């Protein structure tokens, strides 16, 4: 079946502009996660959703970052007033539930470059 998809695959934007990154999880997966992978760094957790709800937003780096999920499916990560330090690969993952026994399946990522 189809895996997790993300769009766009690459995004180049100018400093100060807003960007939207999209994630389509595996059909039927109720849990969705956003991570960020910067050059030379490990994957950094940003936020998770159970259904359309994001109970804990403390992983978001600043108030310029926001995320939403609608219909228990597609999620959008929005970065306002982008800065150069936002340049990274943004990865989305989904799982059938929140328990650790449910594997997180990752999408291919969106590479964001802020110039």
Partner 1 sequence: EDQVTQSPEALRLQEGESSSLNCSYTVSGLRGLFWYRQDPGKGPEFLFTLYSAGEEKEKERLKATLTKKESFLHITAPKPEDSATYLCAVRGNSNSGYALNFGKGTSLLVTP
**What residues line the site for partner 1 (CB under 8 A)?**
4, 31, 33, 35, 40-45, 48, 55-56, 58-59, 91, 93, 98, 100-101, 103-109
Strand partners, 75: 23, 69
Rounded-to-integer distance, Cα 61 and Cα 90, Å: 13
List of residues 6+ apart from 19 with CB closer than 8 A: 11, 13, 78, 79, 82, 112
Which of 73/90 has CB closer to partner 1? 90
Least distance to partner 1 from the beta carbon of 38, Å? Answer: 11
Least distance to partner 1 from the beta carbon of 70, Å? Answer: 20
């Amino acid at each position: 079946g189809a895996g997790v998809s993300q769009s766009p695959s690459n995004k180049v934007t100018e400093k100060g502009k807003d960007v939207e990154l999209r994630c389509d999880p595996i059909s039927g997966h109720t849990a969705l996660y956003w991570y960020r992978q910067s050059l030379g760094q490990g994957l950094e957790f940003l936020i998770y959703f159970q259904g359309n709800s994001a109970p804990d937003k403390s992983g978001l780096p600043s108030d310029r970052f926001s995320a939403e999920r609608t219909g228990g499916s597609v999620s959008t990560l929005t970065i306002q007033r982008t800065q150069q330090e936002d340049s990274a690969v943004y990865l989305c993952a989904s799982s059938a539930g929140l328990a650790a026994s449910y594997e997180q399946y990752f999408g291919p990522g969106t590479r964001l470059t802020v110039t």
